[in-house]
Chains A and B, each alone.
Chain A
Protein backbone atom coordinates (compact mmCIF):
# COMPACT_ATOMS: atom_id res chain seq x y z
CA UNK A 1 0.00 0.00 0.00
CA UNK A 2 2.82 2.37 0.89
CA UNK A 3 4.59 1.95 -2.44
CA UNK A 4 1.27 2.23 -4.26
CA UNK A 5 0.35 5.50 -2.71
CA UNK A 6 3.90 6.74 -3.18
CA UNK A 7 3.68 6.06 -6.91
CA UNK A 8 0.25 7.71 -7.04
CA UNK A 9 1.58 10.67 -5.10
CA UNK A 10 4.50 11.06 -7.47
CA UNK A 11 2.20 11.00 -10.49
CA UNK A 12 -0.16 13.51 -8.96
CA UNK A 13 2.66 15.84 -8.09
CA UNK A 14 3.59 16.15 -11.76
CA UNK A 15 0.23 15.98 -13.56
CA UNK A 16 -2.03 18.94 -14.22
CA UNK A 17 -5.33 17.15 -14.84
CA UNK A 18 -7.07 14.23 -13.21
CA UNK A 19 -9.88 12.29 -14.85
CA UNK A 20 -11.60 10.00 -12.43
CA UNK A 21 -14.27 7.54 -13.47
CA UNK A 22 -15.89 4.91 -11.33
CA UNK A 23 -17.10 2.54 -14.02
CA UNK A 24 -20.41 0.80 -13.44
CA UNK A 25 -21.14 1.03 -9.72
CA UNK A 26 -23.56 -1.89 -10.05
CA UNK A 27 -20.50 -4.05 -10.67
CA UNK A 28 -18.96 -2.93 -7.41
CA UNK A 29 -21.14 -4.92 -5.06
CA UNK A 30 -21.23 -1.98 -2.73
CA UNK A 31 -24.57 -2.46 -1.01
CA UNK A 32 -22.90 -4.85 1.38
CA UNK A 33 -24.05 -4.30 4.96
CA UNK A 34 -24.11 -0.55 4.82
CA UNK A 35 -27.35 1.14 3.94
CA UNK A 36 -27.20 2.96 0.64
CA UNK A 37 -26.08 6.29 1.92
CA UNK A 38 -26.84 9.78 0.72
CA UNK A 39 -25.55 10.83 -2.66
CA UNK A 40 -22.76 12.88 -1.05
CA UNK A 41 -21.52 9.97 1.05
CA UNK A 42 -21.82 7.59 -1.86
CA UNK A 43 -19.86 9.94 -4.05
CA UNK A 44 -17.07 10.44 -1.55
CA UNK A 45 -16.84 6.73 -1.05
CA UNK A 46 -16.69 6.23 -4.81
CA UNK A 47 -13.91 8.77 -5.24
CA UNK A 48 -11.81 7.14 -2.55
CA UNK A 49 -12.36 3.58 -3.74
CA UNK A 50 -11.57 4.58 -7.30
CA UNK A 51 -8.36 6.29 -6.22
CA UNK A 52 -7.38 3.27 -4.13
CA UNK A 53 -8.10 0.82 -6.95
CA UNK A 54 -6.20 2.92 -9.41
CA UNK A 55 -3.19 3.55 -7.19
CA UNK A 56 -2.88 -0.15 -6.41
CA UNK A 57 -2.51 -0.91 -10.11
CA UNK A 58 -0.09 1.74 -11.33
CA UNK A 59 2.40 0.18 -13.70
CA UNK A 60 6.10 1.07 -13.49
CA UNK A 61 5.85 2.26 -17.11
CA UNK A 62 3.31 4.86 -16.16
CA UNK A 63 5.49 6.15 -13.36
CA UNK A 64 8.35 6.63 -15.83
CA UNK A 65 6.08 8.47 -18.26
CA UNK A 66 4.72 11.06 -15.83
CA UNK A 67 1.66 11.89 -17.94
CA UNK A 68 0.15 15.35 -17.73
CA UNK A 69 -3.38 13.94 -17.70
CA UNK A 70 -4.02 11.08 -15.27
CA UNK A 71 -6.80 8.63 -16.15
CA UNK A 72 -7.94 7.15 -12.91
CA UNK A 73 -10.42 4.28 -13.20
CA UNK A 74 -11.64 1.06 -11.64
CA UNK A 75 -10.70 -1.03 -14.62
CA UNK A 76 -12.81 -4.09 -13.84
CA UNK A 77 -15.96 -2.00 -13.52
CA UNK A 78 -15.63 -0.20 -16.84
CA UNK A 79 -18.47 -1.25 -19.09
CA UNK A 80 -19.41 0.11 -22.48
CA UNK A 81 -22.90 -0.18 -23.89
CA UNK A 82 -23.28 -2.94 -26.43
CA UNK A 83 -24.17 -1.15 -29.72
CA UNK A 84 -26.84 -3.81 -30.45
CA UNK A 85 -28.59 -2.84 -27.24
CA UNK A 86 -28.23 0.93 -27.55
CA UNK A 87 -31.78 1.35 -28.85
CA UNK A 88 -33.26 -0.32 -25.76
CA UNK A 89 -31.39 1.96 -23.39
CA UNK A 90 -31.93 5.45 -22.16
CA UNK A 91 -28.66 7.14 -21.28
CA UNK A 92 -29.11 10.11 -18.96
CA UNK A 93 -26.64 12.34 -17.20
CA UNK A 94 -26.66 15.11 -14.66
CA UNK A 95 -23.83 17.58 -14.74
CA UNK A 96 -22.62 19.35 -11.62
CA UNK A 97 -20.33 22.31 -12.15
CA UNK A 98 -18.02 22.55 -9.16
CA UNK A 99 -15.39 25.17 -9.72
CA UNK A 100 -15.48 28.63 -11.17
CA UNK A 101 -14.83 27.70 -14.69
CA UNK A 102 -14.59 27.73 -18.36
CA UNK A 103 -17.55 26.89 -20.54
CA UNK A 104 -15.59 24.04 -22.10
CA UNK A 105 -16.39 22.00 -18.99
CA UNK A 106 -19.79 21.11 -20.37
CA UNK A 107 -18.42 19.84 -23.64
CA UNK A 108 -15.59 17.97 -21.94
CA UNK A 109 -17.99 16.26 -19.59
CA UNK A 110 -20.36 15.18 -22.35
CA UNK A 111 -17.52 13.98 -24.56
CA UNK A 112 -16.07 11.95 -21.75
CA UNK A 113 -19.39 10.41 -20.85
CA UNK A 114 -19.92 9.37 -24.47
CA UNK A 115 -16.50 7.85 -24.70
CA UNK A 116 -16.75 6.07 -21.34
CA UNK A 117 -20.07 4.49 -22.31
CA UNK A 118 -19.17 3.93 -25.95
CA UNK A 119 -22.11 5.88 -27.31
CA UNK A 120 -22.36 8.66 -29.88
CA UNK A 121 -25.11 10.52 -28.07
CA UNK A 122 -26.62 11.02 -24.62
CA UNK A 123 -30.40 10.91 -24.46
CA UNK A 124 -30.69 13.53 -21.78
CA UNK A 125 -28.45 15.88 -19.86
CA UNK A 126 -29.62 17.88 -16.88
CA UNK A 127 -27.52 20.70 -15.58
CA UNK A 128 -27.50 21.23 -11.84
CA UNK A 129 -27.64 24.87 -10.86
CA UNK A 130 -24.10 26.21 -10.91
CA UNK A 131 -22.65 27.33 -7.58
CA UNK A 132 -23.12 31.00 -6.84
CA UNK A 133 -22.14 33.25 -3.99
CA UNK A 134 -24.17 33.09 -0.81
CA UNK A 135 -27.08 35.48 -0.70
CA UNK A 136 -27.28 35.84 -4.46
CA UNK A 137 -30.30 34.47 -6.30
CA UNK A 138 -29.70 32.33 -9.30
CA UNK A 139 -30.52 34.27 -12.42
CA UNK A 140 -30.49 33.65 -16.11
CA UNK A 141 -26.97 35.06 -16.47
CA UNK A 142 -25.58 32.35 -14.26
CA UNK A 143 -27.05 29.67 -16.44
CA UNK A 144 -26.50 31.18 -19.87
CA UNK A 145 -22.88 30.14 -20.50
CA UNK A 146 -23.63 26.50 -19.71
CA UNK A 147 -26.93 26.46 -21.54
CA UNK A 148 -25.31 27.89 -24.68
CA UNK A 149 -22.83 25.07 -24.60
CA UNK A 150 -25.61 22.51 -24.06
CA UNK A 151 -27.57 23.96 -26.99
CA UNK A 152 -24.52 23.55 -29.21
CA UNK A 153 -24.26 19.94 -28.11
CA UNK A 154 -27.91 19.35 -28.97
CA UNK A 155 -27.39 20.96 -32.36
CA UNK A 156 -24.35 18.80 -33.02
CA UNK A 157 -26.43 15.76 -31.97
CA UNK A 158 -24.31 14.89 -28.95
CA UNK A 159 -27.38 15.24 -26.73
CA UNK A 160 -31.05 14.65 -27.50
CA UNK A 161 -32.75 16.62 -24.73
CA UNK A 162 -31.55 19.05 -22.08
CA UNK A 163 -33.02 20.03 -18.76
CA UNK A 164 -32.52 21.97 -15.58
CA UNK A 165 -32.66 21.38 -11.88
CA UNK A 166 -34.25 23.30 -9.00
CA UNK A 167 -35.46 26.26 -11.07
CA UNK A 168 -38.53 28.03 -9.80
CA UNK A 169 -41.23 29.21 -12.16
CA UNK A 170 -39.66 32.61 -12.79
CA UNK A 171 -36.21 31.18 -13.48
CA UNK A 172 -37.60 28.48 -15.72
CA UNK A 173 -39.71 30.96 -17.64
CA UNK A 174 -36.74 33.30 -18.19
CA UNK A 175 -34.63 30.46 -19.48
CA UNK A 176 -37.44 29.16 -21.65
CA UNK A 177 -37.99 32.53 -23.29
CA UNK A 178 -34.33 33.15 -23.93
CA UNK A 179 -33.20 29.68 -24.94
CA UNK A 180 -33.02 28.46 -28.52
CA UNK A 181 -33.19 24.84 -27.44
CA UNK A 182 -35.88 24.76 -24.78
CA UNK A 183 -35.50 22.79 -21.56
CA UNK A 184 -37.55 19.61 -21.76
CA UNK A 185 -37.39 18.86 -18.06
CA UNK A 186 -36.80 20.49 -14.71
CA UNK A 187 -35.89 18.46 -11.65
CA UNK A 188 -37.35 19.34 -8.28
CA UNK A 189 -36.26 18.11 -4.91
CA UNK A 190 -37.92 14.93 -3.65
CA UNK A 191 -39.05 16.78 -0.54
CA UNK A 192 -41.36 18.98 -2.58
CA UNK A 193 -42.87 16.40 -4.92
CA UNK A 194 -46.09 16.24 -2.91
CA UNK A 195 -46.30 20.00 -2.34
CA UNK A 196 -45.51 21.50 -5.72
CA UNK A 197 -45.94 25.23 -6.24
CA UNK A 198 -48.97 25.55 -8.53
CA UNK A 199 -47.38 28.24 -10.75
CA UNK A 200 -44.46 25.97 -11.62
CA UNK A 201 -46.76 23.03 -12.30
CA UNK A 202 -48.98 25.13 -14.54
CA UNK A 203 -46.06 26.62 -16.46
CA UNK A 204 -44.42 23.24 -16.98
CA UNK A 205 -47.66 21.76 -18.21
CA UNK A 206 -48.29 24.61 -20.62
CA UNK A 207 -44.89 24.30 -22.24
CA UNK A 208 -44.60 20.56 -22.00
CA UNK A 209 -41.68 20.57 -19.60
CA UNK A 210 -41.45 17.39 -17.56
CA UNK A 211 -41.16 17.89 -13.83
CA UNK A 212 -38.88 15.19 -12.47
CA UNK A 213 -37.52 14.49 -9.00
CA UNK A 214 -34.02 14.29 -7.56
CA UNK A 215 -32.60 13.79 -4.11
CA UNK A 216 -29.29 15.60 -4.46
CA UNK A 217 -28.04 17.95 -1.80
CA UNK A 218 -27.51 21.59 -2.64
CA UNK A 219 -23.81 20.95 -3.00
CA UNK A 220 -23.05 17.40 -4.02
CA UNK A 221 -19.29 17.84 -4.06
CA UNK A 222 -17.40 20.73 -2.58
CA UNK A 223 -13.78 21.50 -3.28
CA UNK A 224 -12.96 20.80 0.34
CA UNK A 225 -14.60 17.38 0.46
CA UNK A 226 -12.88 16.39 -2.76
CA UNK A 227 -9.55 17.38 -1.28
CA UNK A 228 -10.26 15.42 1.88
CA UNK A 229 -11.08 12.34 -0.15
CA UNK A 230 -7.91 12.77 -2.13
CA UNK A 231 -5.80 13.28 0.97
CA UNK A 232 -7.20 10.21 2.68
CA UNK A 233 -6.63 7.94 -0.29
CA UNK A 234 -3.20 9.20 -1.18
CA UNK A 235 -1.59 10.57 1.97
CA UNK A 236 1.39 12.83 1.58
CA UNK A 237 0.23 14.72 -1.47
CA UNK A 238 -0.68 18.34 -1.66
CA UNK A 239 -4.42 17.78 -1.95
CA UNK A 240 -5.12 21.48 -1.50
CA UNK A 241 -3.57 22.10 -4.91
CA UNK A 242 -6.35 20.13 -6.58
CA UNK A 243 -9.75 21.50 -7.46
CA UNK A 244 -12.60 19.60 -9.10
CA UNK A 245 -14.07 21.36 -12.14
CA UNK A 246 -17.10 19.25 -12.86
CA UNK A 247 -18.77 16.04 -11.94
CA UNK A 248 -21.12 14.02 -14.10
CA UNK A 249 -23.40 11.26 -12.90
CA UNK A 250 -24.82 8.97 -15.56
CA UNK A 251 -27.35 6.18 -15.60
CA UNK A 252 -28.26 3.69 -18.28
CA UNK A 253 -31.80 2.36 -18.01
CA UNK A 254 -33.39 -0.50 -19.94
CA UNK A 255 -36.39 1.53 -21.08
CA UNK A 256 -39.16 -1.04 -21.32
CA UNK A 257 -38.17 -2.96 -18.23
CA UNK A 258 -37.41 -0.32 -15.62
CA UNK A 259 -34.05 -1.90 -14.90
CA UNK A 260 -30.85 0.05 -14.22
CA UNK A 261 -28.12 -1.36 -16.40
CA UNK A 262 -25.32 0.93 -15.40
CA UNK A 263 -24.60 3.90 -13.20
CA UNK A 264 -21.44 5.83 -12.46
CA UNK A 265 -19.59 9.06 -11.89
CA UNK A 266 -17.01 10.89 -13.97
CA UNK A 267 -15.05 13.79 -12.58
CA UNK A 268 -12.42 16.18 -13.79
CA UNK A 269 -10.01 17.96 -11.47
CA UNK A 270 -7.16 20.37 -12.21
CA UNK A 271 -4.11 21.36 -10.30
CA UNK A 272 -4.53 24.98 -9.42
CA UNK A 273 -2.37 27.35 -11.36
CA UNK A 274 -1.38 24.72 -13.90
Chain B
Protein backbone atom coordinates (compact mmCIF):
# COMPACT_ATOMS: atom_id res chain seq x y z
CA UNK B 1 0.00 0.00 0.00
CA UNK B 2 0.98 3.61 -0.33
CA UNK B 3 3.25 4.84 2.38
CA UNK B 4 2.46 8.51 2.62
CA UNK B 5 5.01 9.28 5.33
CA UNK B 6 7.99 8.13 3.33
CA UNK B 7 6.95 9.15 -0.12
CA UNK B 8 5.58 12.67 0.00
CA UNK B 9 8.59 14.90 -0.56
CA UNK B 10 7.51 17.05 -3.47
CA UNK B 11 9.68 15.34 -6.08
CA UNK B 12 9.53 11.66 -5.26
CA UNK B 13 6.52 9.75 -6.52
CA UNK B 14 4.06 8.51 -3.93
CA UNK B 15 4.49 4.81 -4.23
CA UNK B 16 5.88 2.00 -2.09
CA UNK B 17 9.56 2.36 -1.40
CA UNK B 18 11.99 -0.03 -2.98
CA UNK B 19 12.26 -2.10 0.16
CA UNK B 20 8.52 -2.51 0.49
CA UNK B 21 8.21 -3.55 -3.09
CA UNK B 22 11.01 -6.06 -2.77
CA UNK B 23 9.39 -7.58 0.28
CA UNK B 24 6.07 -7.79 -1.52
CA UNK B 25 7.78 -9.48 -4.44
CA UNK B 26 9.46 -12.05 -2.26
CA UNK B 27 6.22 -12.72 -0.43
CA UNK B 28 4.56 -13.23 -3.78
CA UNK B 29 7.28 -15.63 -4.85
CA UNK B 30 6.99 -17.57 -1.65
CA UNK B 31 3.27 -18.06 -1.99
CA UNK B 32 3.29 -18.48 -5.77
CA UNK B 33 2.94 -22.23 -5.71
CA UNK B 34 0.56 -22.46 -2.80
CA UNK B 35 -3.08 -21.58 -2.80
CA UNK B 36 -4.21 -18.60 -0.74
CA UNK B 37 -3.64 -18.33 3.00
CA UNK B 38 -5.46 -21.56 3.80
CA UNK B 39 -4.02 -24.75 2.40
CA UNK B 40 -6.06 -26.84 0.01
CA UNK B 41 -8.36 -24.05 -1.14
CA UNK B 42 -9.37 -24.20 -4.77
CA UNK B 43 -9.03 -21.25 -7.14
CA UNK B 44 -12.78 -20.64 -7.18
CA UNK B 45 -13.10 -20.90 -3.43
CA UNK B 46 -10.20 -18.57 -2.79
CA UNK B 47 -11.65 -16.16 -5.35
CA UNK B 48 -14.97 -16.25 -3.52
CA UNK B 49 -13.26 -15.67 -0.15
CA UNK B 50 -11.74 -12.49 -1.53
CA UNK B 51 -14.82 -11.40 -3.48
CA UNK B 52 -16.97 -11.65 -0.37
CA UNK B 53 -14.98 -8.81 1.17
CA UNK B 54 -14.72 -6.72 -2.00
CA UNK B 55 -17.20 -3.81 -1.92
CA UNK B 56 -16.86 -3.24 -5.67
CA UNK B 57 -17.96 -6.79 -6.39
CA UNK B 58 -20.81 -6.61 -3.89
CA UNK B 59 -22.14 -3.39 -5.44
CA UNK B 60 -21.99 -4.96 -8.88
CA UNK B 61 -23.68 -8.10 -7.62
CA UNK B 62 -26.43 -6.11 -5.88
CA UNK B 63 -27.19 -4.09 -9.01
CA UNK B 64 -27.27 -7.24 -11.14
CA UNK B 65 -29.54 -9.14 -8.75
CA UNK B 66 -31.99 -6.23 -8.46
CA UNK B 67 -32.04 -5.83 -12.24
CA UNK B 68 -32.64 -9.51 -12.94
CA UNK B 69 -35.37 -9.79 -10.29
CA UNK B 70 -37.08 -6.65 -11.62
CA UNK B 71 -36.91 -7.97 -15.17
CA UNK B 72 -38.48 -11.24 -14.09
CA UNK B 73 -41.34 -9.82 -12.03
CA UNK B 74 -41.88 -6.54 -13.91
CA UNK B 75 -45.10 -7.55 -15.71
CA UNK B 76 -46.77 -8.02 -12.31
CA UNK B 77 -45.01 -5.07 -10.72
CA UNK B 78 -45.80 -2.43 -13.34
CA UNK B 79 -48.79 -0.34 -12.24
CA UNK B 80 -50.02 0.08 -15.81
CA UNK B 81 -50.07 -1.91 -19.00
CA UNK B 82 -47.07 -0.52 -20.94
CA UNK B 83 -49.14 -0.34 -24.11
CA UNK B 84 -52.17 1.38 -22.51
CA UNK B 85 -52.44 5.13 -22.92
CA UNK B 86 -54.04 6.40 -19.71
CA UNK B 87 -52.75 9.98 -20.12
CA UNK B 88 -53.52 10.31 -23.80
CA UNK B 89 -56.07 13.07 -23.12
CA UNK B 90 -53.33 15.26 -21.61
CA UNK B 91 -51.02 15.09 -24.62
CA UNK B 92 -51.10 18.40 -26.53
CA UNK B 93 -48.68 18.34 -29.47
CA UNK B 94 -48.16 22.11 -29.23
CA UNK B 95 -48.19 23.07 -25.56
CA UNK B 96 -47.66 19.84 -23.65
CA UNK B 97 -46.26 17.03 -25.80
CA UNK B 98 -45.19 14.96 -22.79
CA UNK B 99 -47.46 14.82 -19.69
CA UNK B 100 -45.56 15.31 -16.43
CA UNK B 101 -45.79 13.36 -13.16
CA UNK B 102 -49.09 13.17 -11.33
CA UNK B 103 -50.65 10.89 -8.70
CA UNK B 104 -50.66 7.35 -10.01
CA UNK B 105 -47.99 8.17 -12.58
CA UNK B 106 -44.86 9.03 -10.58
CA UNK B 107 -42.69 9.60 -13.66
CA UNK B 108 -45.42 10.97 -15.91
CA UNK B 109 -46.06 9.62 -19.37
CA UNK B 110 -44.39 9.56 -22.75
CA UNK B 111 -45.43 11.39 -25.91
CA UNK B 112 -48.28 8.95 -26.51
CA UNK B 113 -49.67 9.14 -22.99
CA UNK B 114 -48.25 5.79 -21.85
CA UNK B 115 -47.12 5.45 -18.23
CA UNK B 116 -43.33 5.97 -18.20
CA UNK B 117 -42.60 3.97 -15.04
CA UNK B 118 -44.44 0.93 -16.35
CA UNK B 119 -42.60 1.12 -19.66
CA UNK B 120 -39.27 1.38 -17.86
CA UNK B 121 -40.05 -1.61 -15.68
CA UNK B 122 -41.25 -3.78 -18.52
CA UNK B 123 -38.38 -2.53 -20.69
CA UNK B 124 -35.89 -4.13 -18.32
CA UNK B 125 -37.14 -7.49 -19.52
CA UNK B 126 -36.33 -6.90 -23.20
CA UNK B 127 -32.97 -5.43 -22.25
CA UNK B 128 -32.15 -8.50 -20.15
CA UNK B 129 -33.29 -10.89 -22.88
CA UNK B 130 -31.17 -9.16 -25.51
CA UNK B 131 -28.11 -8.94 -23.26
CA UNK B 132 -28.27 -12.52 -21.99
CA UNK B 133 -29.06 -14.22 -25.28
CA UNK B 134 -26.57 -12.18 -27.29
CA UNK B 135 -23.83 -13.05 -24.82
CA UNK B 136 -24.94 -16.67 -24.61
CA UNK B 137 -24.91 -17.19 -28.38
CA UNK B 138 -21.63 -15.33 -28.71
CA UNK B 139 -20.19 -17.50 -25.95
CA UNK B 140 -21.44 -20.71 -27.59
CA UNK B 141 -20.02 -19.75 -30.97
CA UNK B 142 -16.73 -18.78 -29.41
CA UNK B 143 -16.70 -21.97 -27.38
CA UNK B 144 -17.07 -24.13 -30.49
CA UNK B 145 -14.47 -22.22 -32.53
CA UNK B 146 -12.05 -21.79 -29.65
CA UNK B 147 -12.24 -25.44 -28.61
CA UNK B 148 -11.73 -26.56 -32.20
CA UNK B 149 -8.72 -24.32 -32.64
CA UNK B 150 -7.21 -24.95 -29.23
CA UNK B 151 -7.76 -28.69 -29.15
CA UNK B 152 -6.91 -29.64 -32.72
CA UNK B 153 -4.15 -27.16 -33.51
CA UNK B 154 -2.52 -27.42 -36.95
CA UNK B 155 -4.40 -26.17 -39.98
CA UNK B 156 -7.75 -26.04 -38.15
CA UNK B 157 -6.20 -23.64 -35.69
CA UNK B 158 -4.69 -21.51 -38.46
CA UNK B 159 -7.94 -21.36 -40.39
CA UNK B 160 -10.11 -20.49 -37.40
CA UNK B 161 -7.67 -17.86 -36.20
CA UNK B 162 -7.44 -16.20 -39.65
CA UNK B 163 -11.23 -15.89 -39.72
CA UNK B 164 -11.24 -14.55 -36.18
CA UNK B 165 -8.51 -12.02 -37.01
CA UNK B 166 -10.44 -10.71 -40.00
CA UNK B 167 -13.58 -10.37 -37.89
CA UNK B 168 -11.61 -8.55 -35.22
CA UNK B 169 -10.16 -6.23 -37.87
CA UNK B 170 -13.62 -4.72 -38.42
CA UNK B 171 -14.69 -2.28 -35.70
CA UNK B 172 -17.14 -4.34 -33.65
CA UNK B 173 -20.02 -1.90 -33.45
CA UNK B 174 -19.80 -1.23 -37.20
CA UNK B 175 -19.95 -4.97 -37.82
CA UNK B 176 -23.02 -5.20 -35.61
CA UNK B 177 -24.67 -2.33 -37.51
CA UNK B 178 -23.88 -4.07 -40.80
CA UNK B 179 -25.32 -7.40 -39.71
CA UNK B 180 -28.41 -5.78 -38.26
CA UNK B 181 -29.03 -3.90 -41.51
CA UNK B 182 -29.46 -7.25 -43.27
CA UNK B 183 -32.70 -7.96 -41.45
CA UNK B 184 -35.79 -7.62 -43.57
CA UNK B 185 -38.04 -6.88 -40.62
CA UNK B 186 -36.02 -5.98 -37.53
CA UNK B 187 -36.99 -7.42 -34.14
CA UNK B 188 -35.18 -8.08 -30.90
CA UNK B 189 -33.67 -11.16 -32.55
CA UNK B 190 -31.90 -8.88 -35.02
CA UNK B 191 -30.17 -7.26 -32.07
CA UNK B 192 -29.34 -10.58 -30.47
CA UNK B 193 -27.86 -12.09 -33.64
CA UNK B 194 -25.91 -8.95 -34.59
CA UNK B 195 -24.34 -8.58 -31.15
CA UNK B 196 -23.72 -12.31 -30.73
CA UNK B 197 -21.82 -12.56 -34.02
CA UNK B 198 -19.60 -9.66 -33.00
CA UNK B 199 -18.75 -11.38 -29.73
CA UNK B 200 -17.88 -14.76 -31.22
CA UNK B 201 -14.30 -13.87 -32.27
CA UNK B 202 -13.52 -12.34 -28.87
CA UNK B 203 -14.56 -15.49 -27.01
CA UNK B 204 -12.93 -17.77 -29.58
CA UNK B 205 -9.58 -16.02 -29.29
CA UNK B 206 -9.69 -15.97 -25.52
CA UNK B 207 -10.63 -19.62 -25.19
CA UNK B 208 -8.04 -20.75 -27.72
CA UNK B 209 -5.35 -18.91 -25.76
CA UNK B 210 -6.24 -20.55 -22.47
CA UNK B 211 -6.71 -23.96 -24.15
CA UNK B 212 -3.20 -23.74 -25.55
CA UNK B 213 -1.89 -22.96 -22.08
CA UNK B 214 -3.75 -26.01 -20.77
CA UNK B 215 -2.37 -28.24 -23.52
CA UNK B 216 1.17 -27.83 -22.34
CA UNK B 217 0.32 -28.15 -18.65
CA UNK B 218 1.37 -31.02 -16.44
CA UNK B 219 -2.04 -32.43 -15.64
CA UNK B 220 -2.83 -32.83 -19.33
CA UNK B 221 0.50 -34.52 -19.86
CA UNK B 222 -0.31 -36.83 -16.96
CA UNK B 223 -3.71 -37.66 -18.40
CA UNK B 224 -2.16 -38.36 -21.79
CA UNK B 225 0.47 -40.65 -20.35
CA UNK B 226 -2.25 -42.55 -18.48
CA UNK B 227 -3.84 -43.23 -21.86
CA UNK B 228 -6.92 -41.06 -21.44
CA UNK B 229 -8.74 -40.67 -24.78
CA UNK B 230 -8.14 -37.37 -26.58
CA UNK B 231 -11.83 -36.49 -26.41
CA UNK B 232 -11.88 -36.93 -22.65
CA UNK B 233 -8.69 -34.90 -22.29
CA UNK B 234 -10.22 -32.01 -24.18
CA UNK B 235 -13.62 -32.02 -22.52
CA UNK B 236 -12.72 -33.15 -19.02
CA UNK B 237 -9.25 -31.86 -18.44
CA UNK B 238 -8.67 -28.89 -20.72
CA UNK B 239 -12.00 -27.17 -21.28
CA UNK B 240 -13.18 -26.85 -17.65
CA UNK B 241 -9.83 -25.41 -16.64
CA UNK B 242 -9.73 -23.02 -19.57
CA UNK B 243 -13.15 -21.53 -18.88
CA UNK B 244 -12.19 -19.03 -16.15
CA UNK B 245 -11.21 -16.07 -18.34
CA UNK B 246 -14.14 -16.82 -20.64
CA UNK B 247 -16.62 -16.50 -17.80
CA UNK B 248 -15.07 -13.21 -16.73
CA UNK B 249 -15.31 -11.97 -20.31
CA UNK B 250 -18.95 -13.06 -20.47
CA UNK B 251 -19.80 -10.87 -17.48
CA UNK B 252 -18.10 -7.90 -19.11
CA UNK B 253 -19.73 -8.78 -22.44
CA UNK B 254 -23.18 -8.52 -20.87
CA UNK B 255 -22.52 -4.83 -20.22
CA UNK B 256 -21.19 -4.32 -23.73
CA UNK B 257 -24.16 -6.19 -25.22
CA UNK B 258 -26.65 -3.99 -23.38
CA UNK B 259 -24.88 -0.79 -24.46
CA UNK B 260 -24.50 -1.99 -28.05
CA UNK B 261 -28.14 -3.03 -28.17
CA UNK B 262 -29.05 0.48 -27.06
CA UNK B 263 -26.85 1.91 -29.83
CA UNK B 264 -28.49 -0.30 -32.45
CA UNK B 265 -31.98 0.60 -31.24
CA UNK B 266 -30.98 4.23 -31.18
CA UNK B 267 -30.06 4.09 -34.88
CA UNK B 268 -33.42 2.49 -35.64
CA UNK B 269 -31.96 -0.97 -36.34
CA UNK B 270 -33.58 -2.58 -33.32
CA UNK B 271 -37.09 -3.66 -32.52
CA UNK B 272 -39.47 -1.04 -33.93
CA UNK B 273 -42.45 -2.58 -32.14
CA UNK B 274 -43.34 -0.12 -29.38
CA UNK B 275 -45.65 -2.62 -27.74
CA UNK B 276 -42.43 -4.25 -26.51
CA UNK B 277 -40.65 -1.37 -24.80
CA UNK B 278 -36.87 -1.57 -24.52
CA UNK B 279 -34.53 0.99 -22.96
CA UNK B 280 -32.50 1.66 -26.11
CA UNK B 281 -35.66 2.07 -28.14
CA UNK B 282 -37.15 4.47 -25.55
CA UNK B 283 -33.93 6.47 -25.60
CA UNK B 284 -34.00 6.71 -29.38
CA UNK B 285 -37.62 7.87 -29.37
CA UNK B 286 -36.86 10.48 -26.71
CA UNK B 287 -34.41 12.33 -28.97
CA UNK B 288 -37.21 14.34 -30.51
CA UNK B 289 -38.16 15.95 -27.21
CA UNK B 290 -34.71 17.02 -26.08
CA UNK B 291 -35.77 20.56 -25.23
CA UNK B 292 -39.30 19.91 -23.93
CA UNK B 293 -38.82 16.69 -21.98
CA UNK B 294 -35.21 15.58 -21.53
CA UNK B 295 -36.31 13.30 -18.69
CA UNK B 296 -37.77 10.95 -21.32
CA UNK B 297 -34.16 10.20 -22.25
CA UNK B 298 -32.66 10.49 -18.77
CA UNK B 299 -34.65 7.63 -17.21
CA UNK B 300 -33.92 4.88 -19.75
CA UNK B 301 -30.32 6.04 -20.15
CA UNK B 302 -29.87 6.05 -16.37
CA UNK B 303 -31.16 2.48 -16.23
CA UNK B 304 -28.79 1.38 -19.00
CA UNK B 305 -25.83 3.03 -17.28
CA UNK B 306 -26.55 1.54 -13.87
CA UNK B 307 -27.05 -1.97 -15.23
CA UNK B 308 -23.99 -1.79 -17.50
CA UNK B 309 -21.98 -0.47 -14.56
CA UNK B 310 -23.21 -3.35 -12.39
CA UNK B 311 -22.01 -5.98 -14.87
CA UNK B 312 -18.74 -4.12 -15.43
CA UNK B 313 -17.96 -3.85 -11.71
CA UNK B 314 -18.75 -7.50 -11.23
CA UNK B 315 -16.66 -8.57 -14.22
CA UNK B 316 -13.68 -6.43 -13.29
CA UNK B 317 -13.56 -7.69 -9.71
CA UNK B 318 -14.03 -11.28 -10.90
CA UNK B 319 -11.12 -10.82 -13.27
CA UNK B 320 -8.98 -9.51 -10.45
CA UNK B 321 -10.01 -12.30 -8.08
CA UNK B 322 -9.37 -15.09 -10.58
CA UNK B 323 -6.03 -13.68 -11.68
CA UNK B 324 -3.38 -15.88 -10.00
CA UNK B 325 -0.98 -12.93 -10.02
CA UNK B 326 -3.15 -11.02 -7.57
CA UNK B 327 -3.53 -13.94 -5.18
CA UNK B 328 -1.41 -12.78 -2.33
Q: Do A and B bind each other?
A: no
